[in-house]
Structure 1
């Protein structure tokens, strides 16, 4: 079996969330682009618990990219650690399937004309972490799911085929 990754969207562009019943919040497309160019060393945590890290940008086990849908992430948990095994198992059964992002807005627009004030964040910084959570502020506008990376298995098959070819070639 290949390496398993937990992937999904930490933020979906222009999807509203009601924050503490006080205001509606949305992110404009590309709101994190400027900060992502700085290659911030963000961590992936289990339920915002700093004692339960799953991955980190600095060691290549956490990656982000901004696309047309939102802020996409990929976590490669250590499948040999109990926490990595737990994360893969619980996300794999769709028990935990949302994420929460710690961020700080840099540029925002407010609209107070409706019953509930609305905030559109046009530029933001990731602030330390993204977490796999049972319930996030943005609900199903975020996602967490498993993806298997079968490149390692494919490489092993190619290497085995090359060895066989060399052995058979020498036998001729």
Structure 2
């Protein structure tokens, strides 16, 4: 199953109209090092550089994550992505289409005010020394960015599975290293102590 997740940066999206009639939406789809509480299940933060591979990828801009409502694309230059100190900055040249015109009006009115993105995590870390656990997203495959009306913290089940997979991987590493299991560690320690006693007897002649 494809592990696609969606997140929203609540910084707002703004309109920019040029004298030549060009209309551009601009905003942040993601913010770095900003903790998001996903329903108390885990805390999530995005590490700077997480989107670097995506800057050269072919990414679409959509309306509300609807793949049938494309309003921009990096390959055509109508969608521009950039990482800065704050996060993933997005600029979309709004098309003269029904979706484009409606979106422009809705953003100007304030009915649509968020920027979001759909992604697949390719590198992450979990910190379970705190409660709830902290998930640090280090790298993603960026699929799309969207102008949205509501915050999207979708597919929390994916995050839960990701945490369980992380735990399972750690458990498997422990099993692969027999000396790392509690029982075998105790046995190894006992052998070491016995060896030290025997060595002491040989050296002292006891």
Q: TM-score per shorter chain, which class?
A: 0.7 to 0.9
Query: Cα distance, 1:20 vs. partner?
Result: 4.8
1:132 alignment counterpart: 147
Structure 1: any 5+ residue segments left out of the alignment? 139-172
Q: Which has the higher helix share?
A: 2
CA contact (8 A) 1:99 1:135 kept: no
1:75 alignment counterpart: 92
SS in 2 for 1:92: helix
CA distance in 1, matches of 2:50, 2:31: 11
Q: Which has the higher strand share?
A: 1
CA contact (8 A) 1:17 1:137 kept: no
- The TM-score normalised by the length of structure 2 is 0.61
Where relative contact order (Cα < 8 A, 6+ residues apart) is larger, the structure is 1
1:60 to 73, 77, 81: 77
1:121 alignment counterpart: 137
CA contact (8 A) 1:19 1:137 kept: no
Q: Spell out structure 1 runs of 4+ moving beyond 6 A.
A: none
State the structure with more CA Rg.
Answer: 2
1:5 to 24, 27, 30: 24
Q: Residues 78-89 of structure 1 correspond to what in structure 2 (within 5 A)?
A: 78=95, 80-89=96-105
1:22-81 per-position Cα deviation (integer Å, ceiling 9, x unaligned) = 211110112111332xx2111111111111111111211101000111000100011x21
1:92 alignment counterpart: 108
CA distance in 1, matches of 2:103, 2:62: 10
SS in 2 for 1:95: coil
- The TM-score normalised by the length of structure 1 is 0.72
Number of residue-to-residue matches in the alignment:
134
The answer to whether 1:111 aligns with 2:127 is yes
2:44 alignment counterpart: 25
CA distance in 2, matches of 1:81, 1:97: 20
